[in-house]
């Protein structure tokens, strides 16, 4: 019996000081001192103890009860002191602080800025141009002669009066080359337009970034290097890219750029349609005819160009599968991009 | 390093005026720090001869001197110095001369007139000596301008010699460099003299005990020399170079130091025990007394020049007292040696002895020019003091230090510099530097680097020299950044966006298409510029048939959409282009910044009652955005008549008198046509008008005004039709330079205020940039303000 009493006391000494509320403390009081407590139980069994030990046990039980009662009383005071002083000062640290405003840039604009900054870091200048363009800058100067299917009104928006909405940011590159001598190292960014029905992967209005570098001795290695640097920074440092032969009127040789699927790292998944690769845009060495058109000596100068869709990059970075989400301007979406 | 331009021109005529020359020198790599023309300030100061000295009749400490200044009449000058005696030559500042700010005038000292002043060295800027008047030791005709006599009609060019170029610490090295720079020739001094029968090696022997610390030691002797002042030409050059003439022997060592850069030392021959010079390391705790009377306790890292018994000099740093030249010296031993730079540096540092000599040895002298230098010294000693030069040089040079030979490729040079130098040009430049060249192939040379150029160690070091010859500024610049970059726009756009976001706005991004219905919903009249629409020939739908000419409809649609999602209070903005038709086939695409505040401006806060949003919230947003993009000057606000605003709740924003946008509360019926059931405030700014004005470089630090500001409040009763902006302007106009700020802090209309009026309270900051404002002065201004408000606006001071 002595051991049992000792055990109960030890437990009470541990549990009472660590309790945090009046309610917990009351439960402990009932547990140790209540009518159904183990101490009461032991007291009722005191008769079973030998005659010689009985007074000793009784005294021990009383002493233990007294100590536990004292512990509880002390704890009660402690708890009240704490709550009383902080409440007196009116402080509840769990209450919300004064709500200061937080807004957010549109996700597309966030990515756009990030892309600009990466290219600025790589030494590119940023050029902007008009979205309302002439057929000359959008097509003729870019080696896309009349009769080319891209010029159809089924693909290109025309204005009443003959001008068009640029289908790519390349016209700005022509404008820059007309005005400045090499070396040229620019990106042109901005809105472009193509006649497309709105669906999960198409919008009639979208954004492009195009890079152009022209100088003596620019090679396809420079193109691959610039592109690699870019995709590694905008995605992750282990992002690989590959070039697939393709056709564009204003580059020769031309290629489509793929990056290793950022979701499955090449294993094949829904995002990459099991191919392991994601199509990112077009690239190539500037066609000598284009250089000639702007008055550069194509024997002296070479250059590269590549173009990427900003929506595409934003969707991949944020895991957005429907491009239309980027123009709904729903606060339930925008608030995710704080 | 101080370069006398006169001296330099003797070695290599530059045919350039001093400014041109200094510019060239700096661009060639010898940076000119300062040019001093000491003679310029010495007008009316001449050499005079004291012909008589008398006591001043009324003052014990003054003397009355008659001084011959070359004119018929000697000048009568009162002098206070004790060292003035008859027959000496002195500098005389005549009437009209200027010594610093002090002009010499005819003066009366204790009843006696004085017609000038006899000057000390310090007064003339010759040295810091000022214990007495300067005594000129050369034989000079009285009346000679002092600057001419002292060689001070010169330009002293102070150049920064980098530590890697010890060869430029002497005039000959500088002349060589200048000759390369000017593609000219420079003259070496002509060294010729007769030697006596006596052989130097019989008179003195040299033993180098530590040839690592002293690879070479040369000695020569001049016997029977007279110690006396050195000739005027030498003194002039020493003074010009910042050294004080002492006697011919010391002056010659200094002169040759200036000429060749090579430090020399002269010993009194009779004080060298056993006719033996030993170059050795010091014994532990060996003592020696230096020339400047300090005693050193040496140790085995210190290199000494000693005789058979005692130290004579701390090698390369300073001579000892015992062996130094005195007026009685007859026979002189000249030392010319090459010491290990590291050892000299360590010893000089240890004893805190930075001398002209240690300064040069630390940087590395040319071990292979010692015999030429020592011959030059012997020649000059004989020239200035007579005597006989014993025959031959005792030259202790156990291991000859050979010049380096480096390969140089012309193609590599051209490749690095992007220049097109021919092999001949390259060779010519190298030879000018006195680098030896041997053609190794069509494209390359073997270049022998003279030992006076310890800095040239690799091919690239030679290429650097060639680049200097070619001229850094003649190298083509491949500069191309920032011709095209739209940094200005990018900066403004980002500043504006980031600012709005921190105010709690969310950015939206709408497509560029719209329909004329949108314009109708805004009640935009037919003659509004936004009706100059751009129409698509092949739109994808009626609601997308034009390019939007305003961002407002899309923002209102965005507001309606988000209200339908149960957002109650929110703020949105868009920064994008609008599209306008200017003329047939000519379009513009200005960039607009448009935003809406839907519901309440402040977020809900449990602790306070919701503040009611008003027009001033949207105006505050506009003001803060404009201020963030530095668009504050010449911005004004007037009541707006835009058809989509509630009457009397909107303002047009003007920049330089032209409207750049508006802000205000949207009309209910407009809101209804966009199906909005909430209050909406709008701002709409043409950013294209502001971007070209933005200039981040316009931010300039302004010194903080150290005089405290004075703050005063003024409470007035103003007729309600007086706009606050005007009354604030009127207050400021009372003292625009002193009234720094006028801030409205209270507006009140109520029972106590008479009908048609309101009470305004302003906080005015007064501050002067030049003095502490007194209360009295501020009171005066305050009264002026009250008077002007009353006079101009019939605004009266509020009586409490
Ligand atoms: Zn995948």
Final residue before a domain boundary, out of A87, A117, A147: A87
Q: Say what the pLDDT of residue A14 is.
A: 83
Q: Answer whether residue A79 shows pLDDT above 80.
A: no
> How far, in Å, is the centroid of ligand 1 from the Cα of A207?
24
SS3 category, B597? strand
Chain A residue numbers touching B538 (CB-CB < 8 A): 153, 157-158, 195
Q: How far is the CA of A278 from the centre of ligand 1 (A)?
A: 8
Of B486, B538, B565, the CB nearest to A158: B538
Q: Residue B796: its pLDDT value, please?
A: 87
Burial class (CB in 10 A: 0-12, 13-18, 19+), B108: exposed
Cβ atoms of B262 and B365 within 8 Å: the answer is yes
Write down the pLDDT at residue A84: 56
A328 CB neighbours in chain B (<8 A) are 561
Using CA coordinates, name the residue in chain B closest to A162: B585
- Give contacts of A102 with chain B, Cβ < 8 Å: 501, 504
Please say if the pLDDT value at position A87 is more than 60.
no
The residue of chain A with its CA nearest to that of B479 is A183
Average pLDDT of chain A is 89
Give the helix/strand (H/E) hosting B465.
Answer: helix B459-470
Give yes or no: residues A207 and A297 share one domain: yes
Is the confidence at residue A2, as pLDDT, over 90? Answer: no
Size of interface A-B (CB pairs under 8 A): 139
* Contacts A105 to B, Cβ<8 Å: 497, 501, 507
Residue A219 lies in a domain: yes
My answer on whether A254 and A133 are in the same domain is yes
Is residue B216 within 8 A of residue B337, CB to CB? The reply is yes
Distance CA A313, CA A235 (A): 9
State whether residue A157 sits within 8 Å of chain B by CB. Answer: yes
For tokens 């004790």, name the residue: B82
- Per-residue model confidence (pLDDT) at position B574: 98
Cα gap A185→A245, rounded to integer Å = 24
Which of A125, A157, A191 shows the shortest C-beta gap to B536?
A: A157
Q: A96 lies in a domain? A: no
Which chain B residues are Cβ-neighbours of A128 within 8 angstroms? Answer: 486, 489
Q: Which domain holds residue A226?
A: 107-337
Please indicate whether, in this complex, the C-beta atoms of A334 and B507 are within 8 angstroms of each other: yes
What is the nearest CA distance from A331 to chain B, expressed in angstroms? 6
Higher pLDDT pick, B226 / A47: B226
Q: Which residues contact A122 (CB under 8 A, 6 or more apart)?
A: A226, A229, A230
Q: Which residue in B487, B562, B587 is closest to A132 by CB distance?
A: B587
CA gap B632, B636 in Å, rounded: 9
* Residues of B in Cβ contact (< 8 Å) with A153: 537-538
Q: What is the pLDDT of residues A210-260, one digit of tens each?
A: 999 999 999 999 999 999 999 999 999 999 999 999 988 889 899 999 999
**N residues, chain B:** 800
* Residues of B in Cβ contact (< 8 Å) with A326: 509
Instruction: Determine the Cα–Cα distance for residues A306 and A94; give it in Å rounded to an integer.
Output: 53
Residues A148 and A212 in one domain: yes
Provide, as residue numbers in chain B, all residues whose Cβ is less than 8 Å from the Cβ of A333: none
Residues A333 and A197 in one domain: yes
Helix (H) or strand (E) holding B267: strand B265-268
B492 vs chain A: nearest CA distance in angstroms?
13
**pLDDT at residue A66 in the model:** 86
User: A98 vs B535: CB contact, 8 Å cut-off?
Assistant: no
CATH number for the domain harbouring residue A315: 3.30.930.10
Per DSSP, what are the bridge partners of residue B571? Answer: B597
pLDDT digit string (tens) for B369-413? Answer: 999 999 999 999 999 999 999 999 999 999 999 999 999 999 999
The reply to whether A280 falls in a domain is yes
Report the DSSP pairing between strands B591-598 and B570-577. antiparallel
Residues of A in contact with B572 (CB under 8 A): 329
CB-CB under 8 Å, A183 with B508: no
pTM over 0.90: no
Residues A228 and A152 in one domain: yes
Say whether both A142 and A268 belong to one domain: yes
Yes or no, beta carbons of A130 and B507 under 8 Å apart: no
Query: Looking at the domain assignment, is residue A272 inside a domain?
Result: yes
Whether omega before A183 lies within 30 degrees of 0, making that bond cis, reads yes
Domain boundary among A87, A119, A144: A87
Does the distance separating the beta carbons of A98 and B537 come in below 8 Å? no
Cβ distance of A126 and B483 shorter than 8 Å: no
Domain-embedded: residue A97: no
DSSP state letters, B481-540: TTSS--HHHHHHHHHHHHHHHHTT-EE----SEE-HHHHHHTT--TTSGGGSPEEBSS-S
Chain B interface, mutation test: which of A135, A157, A217, most B Cβ atoms within 10 Å? A157
A325 in a structural domain: yes
Residue A105 C-alpha, separation from nearest chain B C-alpha, in angstroms:
5
Q: Are residues A80 and A116 in the same domain?
A: no
CA of A279 from ligand 1 middle (Å) equals 11
The number of folded domains in chain A is: 2
- Give buried/exposed letters for B386-405 (b at 16+ CB in 10 A, else e): ebbbbbebbbbbeeeeebee
Higher-pLDDT residue of B737 and A77 is B737
Between positions 84 and 103 of A, the ones with CB within 8 A of B are 95-96, 98-103
Which phi-psi region, left, alpha or beta, contains residue A90 (left: φ > 0; alpha: ψ -120 to 50)? left
Q: What are phi and psi of B628, to 5 degrees?
A: -65, -35
List of chain B residues whose C-beta atoms are within 8 Å of the C-beta of residue A197: 540
> Are residues A65 and A166 part of one domain?
no
Question: Are A197 and A323 found together in one domain?
Answer: yes
CB-facing half-sphere around the CA of B110: CA atoms within 13 A: 14
User: What ipTM goes with this model?
Assistant: 0.77
Beta-carbon neighbour count of residue B788 at 10 Å?
Answer: 15
CB contact under 8 A, B537 and A180: no
Cis peptide, bond prior to residue A28, ω within 30 of zero: no
Is A49 found in the same domain as A140?
Answer: no
- Cβ of A269: how many Cβ atoms within 10 Å? 14
- CA–centroid distance, A338 to ligand 1, in Å, is 27
B345 SS3 class = helix
> Is A193 within the bounds of a domain?
yes
Best interface-test mutation with B: which of A99, A100, A105 has the largest number of B CBs within 10 A? Answer: A105
Q: Are residues A147 and A261 in the same domain?
A: yes
Question: Testing the interface with A: which of B493, B511, B581 to mutate, by most A Cβ within 10 A?
Answer: B511
DSSP conformation letters of B96-151: T-EETTEEP--EEETTEEE-EEE--TTTTTS-S--SS---B-S---TT-BHHHHTT
What pLDDT is stored for residue A89 in this prediction? 63
The helix or strand, by DSSP H or E, that contains position B238, with its residue range, turns out to be helix B232-240
Q: Do B606 and A95 touch (CB under 8 A)?
A: yes
For residue B514, CA distances in Å to A106, B65, B235, B519, B542 come to: 20, 104, 92, 9, 9
pLDDT at B479: 64
Closest approach of A210 to chain B, Cα-based (Å): 14
For every residue of A256-301, DSSP letters joined together read EEEEE-TTTTTS--TTTTTSSEEEEEEEEEEPHHHHHHTT--TTT-
- The Cα–Cα gap between B302 and B343 comes to 8
Residue B180 in 3-state DSSP?
helix
CA distance, residue B558 to nearest chain A CA (Å) = 6
Q: Return the residue of B nearest to A116 by Cα.
A: B490
Q: Collect the ranges in chain B with pLDDT lower than 50.
A: none
Sheet holding B591-598, edge to edge: B506-507, B570-577, B591-598, B680-686, B658-666, B645-655, B635-639
Question: For A182, which residue in chain B has the nearest alpha carbon?
Answer: B480
For B603, the closest of A99, A116, A176 (CB atoms) is A99
Q: Can you give the pLDDT at residue B484?
A: 84
Q: Which residues pair with B79 in a beta bridge?
A: B63
Find, in chain A, the residue whose alpha carbon is nearest to that of B493: A113
**Looking at chain B, which residue has its C-alpha nearest residue A100?**
B603
User: How far is Cα of residue B37 from the mean position of the Cα atoms in its chain?
Assistant: 22
Check residue A44 and give its pLDDT. 79
| 3-class DSSP assignment, residue B163 | coil
Contacts of A203 in chain B (CB under 8 A): 511
Asked whether residue A214 falls in the same domain as residue A249, the answer is: yes
Q: Which residues of A touch B565 (CB under 8 A)?
A: 330-332
Q: How many CA atoms lie within 13 A of B52 on its CB side?
A: 8
Q: Is residue A19 part of a domain?
A: yes
For chain A positions 8-67, those within 8 Å of chain B (CB to CB) are: none
């Amino acid at each position: 019996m002595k051991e049992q009493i000792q055990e109960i006391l030890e437990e009470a000494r541990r549990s009472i000081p660590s309790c945090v509320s009046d309610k917990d403390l009351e439960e402990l009081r009932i547990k140790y001192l209540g009518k159904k407590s183990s101490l009461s139980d032991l007291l009722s069994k005191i008769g079973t103890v030998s005659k010689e030990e009985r007074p000793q046990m009784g005294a021990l039980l009383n002493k233990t009860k007294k100590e536990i009662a004292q512990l509880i009383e002390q704890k009660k005071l402690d708890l009240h002191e704490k709550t009383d002083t902080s409440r007196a000062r009116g402080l509840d640290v769990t209450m919300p602080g004064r709500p200061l405003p937080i807004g957010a840039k549109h996700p597309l604009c966030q990515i756009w800025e990030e892309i600009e900054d990466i290219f600025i870091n790589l030494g590119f200048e940023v050029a902007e141009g008009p979205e309302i363009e002439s057929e000359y800058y959008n097509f003729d100067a870019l080696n896309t002669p009349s009769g080319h299917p891209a010029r159809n009104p089924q693909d290109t928006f025309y204005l009443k009066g003959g001008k068009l909405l640029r289908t790519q940011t390349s016209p700005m590159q022509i404008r820059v080359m007309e005005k400045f001598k090499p070396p040229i190292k620019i990106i042109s960014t901005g809105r472009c337009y193509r006649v497309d029905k709105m669906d999960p992967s198409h919008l009639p209005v979208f954004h492009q970034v195009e890079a152009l570098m022209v100088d003596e001795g620019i090679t396809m290695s420079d193109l691959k290097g610039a592109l690699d640097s870019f995709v590694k920074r905008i995605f992750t440092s282990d992002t690989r890219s590959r070039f697939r032969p393709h056709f564009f009127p204003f580059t020769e040789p031309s290629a489509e750029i793929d990056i290793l699927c950022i979701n499955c790292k090449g294993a094949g998944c829904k995002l990459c349609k099991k191919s392991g690769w994601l199509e990112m845009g077009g690239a190539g060495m500037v066609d000598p005819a284009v250089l000639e058109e702007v008055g550069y000596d194509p024997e002296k100068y070479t250059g590269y160009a590549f173009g990427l869709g900003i929506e595409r990059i934003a969707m991949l970075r944020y895991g957005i599968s429907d491009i239309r989400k980027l123009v709904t301007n729903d606060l339930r979406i925008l608030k995710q991009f704080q | 390093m101080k370069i006398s331009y006169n001296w330099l021109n003797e070695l290599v005529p530059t045919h350039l005026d001093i400014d041109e020359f200094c510019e060239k020198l700096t661009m060639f790599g010898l940076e000119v720090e300062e040019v001093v023309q000491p003679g310029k300030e010495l007008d009316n100061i001449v050499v005079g001869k004291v012909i008589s000295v008398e006591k001043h009749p009324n003052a014990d400490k003054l003397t009355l001197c008659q001084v011959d200044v070359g004119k018929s009449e000697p000048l009568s000058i009162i002098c206070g110095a004790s060292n003035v005696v008859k027959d000496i030559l002195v500098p005389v500042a005549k009437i009209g001369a200027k010594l610093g700010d002090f002009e010499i005038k005819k003066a009366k000292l204790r009843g006696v007139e004085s017609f000038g002043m006899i000057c000390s060295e310090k007064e003339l800027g010759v040295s810091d000596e000022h214990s007495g008047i300067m005594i000129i030791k050369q034989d000079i005709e009285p009346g000679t301008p002092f600057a001419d006599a002292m060689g001070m009609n010169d330009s002293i060019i102070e150049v920064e010699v980098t530590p890697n170029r010890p060869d430029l610490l002497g005039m000959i090295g500088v002349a060589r460099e200048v000759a390369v720079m000017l593609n000219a020739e420079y003259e070496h001094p002509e060294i010729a003299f007769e030697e006596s029968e006596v052989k130097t090696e019989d008179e003195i022997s040299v033993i180098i005990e530590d040839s690592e610390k002293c690879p070479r030691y040369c000695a020569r002797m001049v016997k029977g020399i007279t110690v006396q002042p050195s000739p005027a030409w030498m003194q002039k050059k020493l003074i010009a170079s910042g050294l004080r003439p002492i006697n011919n022997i010391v002056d010659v060592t200094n002169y040759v130091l200036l000429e060749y850069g090579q430090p020399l030392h002269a010993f009194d021959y009779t004080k060298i025990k056993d006719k033996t010079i030993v170059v050795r390391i010091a014994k532990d705790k060996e003592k020696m007394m230096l020339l400047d009377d300090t005693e050193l306790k040496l140790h085995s890292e210190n290199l000494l020049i000693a005789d058979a018994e005692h130290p004579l000099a701390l090698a390369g740093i300073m001579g000892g007292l015992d062996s130094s030249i005195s007026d009685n010296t007859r026979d002189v031993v000249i030392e010319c040696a090459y010491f290990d730079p590291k050892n000299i540096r360590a010893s000089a540092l240890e004893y805190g002895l930075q001398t002209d000599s240690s300064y040069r040895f630390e940087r590395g002298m040319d071990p292979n020019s010692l015999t030429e230098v020592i011959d030059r010294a012997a020649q000059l000693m004989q020239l200035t003091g007579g005597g006989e030069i014993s025959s031959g040089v005792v030259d202790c040079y156990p291991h000859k230090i050979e010049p380096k030979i480096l390969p140089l490729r012309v193609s590599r040079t051209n490749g690095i510099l992007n220049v097109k130098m021919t092999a001949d040009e390259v060779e010519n430049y190298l030879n000018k530097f006195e680098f030896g060249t041997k053609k190794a192939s069509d494209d390359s040379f073997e270049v022998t680097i003279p030992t006076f150029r310890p800095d040239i160690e690799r091919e690239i070091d030679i290429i650097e020299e060639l680049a200097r010859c070619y001229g850094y500024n003649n190298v083509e610049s491949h500069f191309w950044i920032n011709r095209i970059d739209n940094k200005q726009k990018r900066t403004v756009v980002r500043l504006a966006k980031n600012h709005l976001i921190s105010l709690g706005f969310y950015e939206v991004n709408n497509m560029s298409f719209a329909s004329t219905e949108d314009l109708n919903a805004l009640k935009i009249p037919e003659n509004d510029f936004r009706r100059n629409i751009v129409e698509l020939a092949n739109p994808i739908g009626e609601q997308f048939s034009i390019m939007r000419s305003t961002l407002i409809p899309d923002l209102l649609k965005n507001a309606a959409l988000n209200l339908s999602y149960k957002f109650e209070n929110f703020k949105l903005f868009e920064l994008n282009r609008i599209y306008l038709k200017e003329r047939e086939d000519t379009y513009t695409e200005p960039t607009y910044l448009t935003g809406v505040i839907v519901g309440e401006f402040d977020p809900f806060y449990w602790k306070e009652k919701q503040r009611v949003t008003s027009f001033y919230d949207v105006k505050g947003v506009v003001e803060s955005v404009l201020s963030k993009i530095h668009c504050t000057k010449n911005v004004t606000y007037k009541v707006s008549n835009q058809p989509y605003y509630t009457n009397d709740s909107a303002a047009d924003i003007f920049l330089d008198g032209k409207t750049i946008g508006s802000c205000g509360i949207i009309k209910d019926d407009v809101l209804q046509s966009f199906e909005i059931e909430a209050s909406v405030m709008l701002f709409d700014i043409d950013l294209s008008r502001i971007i070209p004005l933005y200039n981040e470089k316009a931010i300039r630090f302004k010194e903080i005004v150290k005089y405290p500001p004075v703050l005063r409040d003024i409470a007035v009763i103003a007729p309600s039709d007086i706009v606050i902006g005007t009354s604030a302007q009127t207050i400021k106009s009372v003292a625009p330079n002193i009234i720094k700020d006028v801030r409205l802090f209270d507006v009140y209309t109520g029972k106590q205020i008479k009908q048609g009026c309101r009470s305004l309270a302003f906080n005015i900051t007064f501050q002067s940039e030049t003095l502490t404002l007194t209360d009295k002065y501020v009171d005066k201004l305050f009264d002026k303000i009250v008077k002007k408000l009353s006079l101009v606006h019939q605004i009266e001071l509020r009586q409490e």
